[in-house]
């Protein structure tokens, strides 16, 4: 159907065409009214106006979703079964959960596609977890390299290479400092704050009829939320890229490229697919009015339905890619080389509970945004005990009043004054 079909009322009721009408319509020159009549008649005959509402679409998407869930949950279970390096595997498991959340969320949105626009609420949950994944990946890279203190000992004072390709052309003449690490963490943490706020605002605007997917009207909230979201996610991914550029030699043994590309593909593909569908909607490729369950729905809802269907398919390939990117082989070998027995189910559940807990994120946000800690680097207690008390100048004890009430698995840390302040 073309966009013109939405403005032309049907002169006859669906299903009441006379015997010779269809032949005359077929032989007449094509016009918007004829397109409308033919489409309305065909739709009423088979009851299938949109592919997304067909059983085939739901079954196909469901098969891909459940295969993705099986692949991912098996990998998560394997990591929990070989939970030998909690401070790394905690973030890996969080990253892996992006597949079940994206896949099942998109499938539910597809199953409930209609005028009620339930998908807005499901997609808000999906988008919030997206921010969580970006932060978790940066934190994982920090853990790979031994934490802030170890990273600073390797890169402190080194000049930043100017490169337009890596986005460092504006940093010419500057050198790496604790401020650089602060920016990388702050840029990812801000997305963890902005994205949930945007999700809440979206739900509120949706309730008052001020939000419609694909509506770039200045009076619609979609335009402003899209601009803010695009800026926020771009800043977070830029920070990830800067960090990788600064530590690529140190990270090379951990093969971060596949990990980074996989995560970026999952997050950015979903975003740009949505943008492309919104453009197609504006170009008239997606009709502005469709009938689902006897009710009219806008082109934005239909575009969101196609977006969810595509994500359902993509998540199986994402699950396979993540299986190779975040393999459990290293942790399994450590488990086999240790004298401990296989982890009981209680240990697996405690590991999963630690993974879900957001306490470390809150602690990290306080440390990175509080002015009192801007010139300090975090260091694990185990690493601090191996060093002399005054090795880095001054040792600042971080007041961990609430730490006794925190999970025992959350690693205790001290703050080491950065050399720039000595």
Report the 10 Å Cβ neighbour count for 254: 15
Alpha helices in 115-220 (DSSP H): 119-144, 148-155, 178-207
Residue 416 burial by CB count (10 A; 0-12/13-18/19+): exposed, middle or buried?
Answer: buried
Which residue from 132, 139, 97, 123 is spatially nearest to 270, judged by alpha carbons? 123
Q: 159: which DSSP letter?
A: B
C-alpha span between 141 and 254 (Å, rounded): 9
C-alpha span between 112 and 53 (Å, rounded): 9
Complete edge-to-edge strand list for the sheet that includes strand 395-396:
376-380, 413-417, 395-396
Per DSSP, the three-state class of 363 is helix
> Is pTM, for the whole model, over 0.85?
no
C-alpha span between 375 and 371 (Å, rounded): 9
C-alpha span between 240 and 49 (Å, rounded): 44
C-beta separation of 81 from 350 below 8 A: no
- Residues recorded for the chain: 422
- Which residues, listed in sequence order, are joined to residue 413 by a DSSP beta bridge? 380
pLDDT digit string (tens) for the chain, length 422 residues: 444 434 434 444 444 444 554 444 445 555 443 343 344 334 433 444 578 888 888 899 999 999 999 999 999 999 988 888 888 888 999 999 999 999 998 898 888 876 566 777 777 788 788 888 888 888 899 889 888 888 888 888 888 887 777 777 777 778 888 888 888 888 888 988 898 898 889 888 888 888 877 677 888 888 898 899 889 888 888 888 888 888 888 888 888 888 888 888 887 777 778 778 777 777 777 766 666 656 666 777 777 788 889 999 999 999 999 999 998 888 888 877 776 555 555 567 777 777 777 777 777 777 777 776 655 566 554 444 444 444 444 444 444 444 344 444 444 455 555 554 43
Per DSSP, the three-state class of 117 is coil
C-alpha span between 41 and 175 (Å, rounded): 69
DSSP string, 301-333: HHHHHHHHHHHHHHHHHHHHHHHHHT-SHHHHH
Quick one: which H or E segment has residue 66? Answer: helix 55-81
User: What residues contact residue 120 under an 8 Å CB cut-off, 6+ apart?
Assistant: 202, 203, 206, 211, 213
């Amino acid at each position: 159907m073309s966009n013109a079909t939405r403005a032309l009322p049907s002169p006859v009721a669906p299903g009441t065409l006379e015997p010779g009408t269809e032949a005359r319509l077929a032989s007449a020159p094509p016009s918007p009214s004829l397109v409308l009549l033919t489409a309305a008649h065909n739709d009423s005959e088979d009851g299938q106006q949109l592919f997304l509402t067909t059983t085939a679409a739901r079954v196909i998407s469901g098969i891909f979703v459940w295969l993705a869930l099986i692949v991912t949950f098996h990998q998560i279970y394997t990591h929990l079964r070989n939970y030998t390096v909690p401070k790394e595997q905690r973030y890996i498991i969080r990253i892996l959960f992006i597949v079940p959340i994206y896949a099942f969320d998109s499938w539910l949105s597809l199953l409930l596609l209609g005028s009620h626009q339930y998908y807005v609420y499901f997609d808000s949950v999906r988008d919030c977890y997206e921010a969580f994944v970006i932060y978790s990946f940066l934190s994982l890279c920090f853990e790979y390299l031994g934490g802030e203190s170890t990273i600073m000992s390797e890169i402190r004072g080194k000049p930043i290479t100017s490169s337009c390709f890596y986005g460092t052309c504006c940093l010419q003449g500057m050198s790496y400092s604790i401020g650089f690490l602060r920016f990388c963490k702050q840029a990812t943490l801000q997305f963890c704050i902005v994205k949930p706020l945007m999700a809440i605002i979206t739900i509120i605007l949706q309730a008052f009829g001020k939000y419609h997917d694909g509506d770039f009207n200045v009076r619609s909230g979609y335009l402003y939320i899209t601009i803010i979201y695009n800026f926020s996610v771009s800043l977070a991914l830029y920070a990830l890229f800067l960090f990788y550029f600064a530590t690529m030699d140190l990270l090379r043994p951990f093969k971060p490229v596949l990990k980074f590309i996989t995560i970026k593909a999952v997050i950015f593909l979903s975003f740009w697919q949505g943008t492309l569908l919104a453009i197609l909607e504006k170009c008239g490729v997606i009709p502005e009015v469709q009938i689902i369950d006897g009710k009219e729905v806008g082109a934005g809802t239909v575009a969101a339905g196609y977006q969810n269907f595509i994500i359902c398919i993509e998540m199986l390939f994402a699950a396979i890619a993540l299986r190779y990117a975040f393999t459990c082989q290293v942790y399994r070998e450590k488990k086999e080389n240790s004298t401990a027995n296989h982890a009981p189910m209680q240990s697996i559940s405690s590991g999963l509970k630690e993974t879900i807990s957001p306490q470390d994120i809150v602690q990290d946000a306080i440390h990175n945004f509080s002015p009192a800690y801007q010139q300090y680097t975090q260091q694990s207690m185990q690493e601090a005990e191996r060093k002399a008390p005054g090795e880095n100048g001054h040792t600042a004890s971080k007041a961990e009043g609430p730490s006794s009430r925190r999970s025992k698995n959350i690693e205790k840390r001290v703050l080491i004054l950065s050399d720039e302040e000595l």
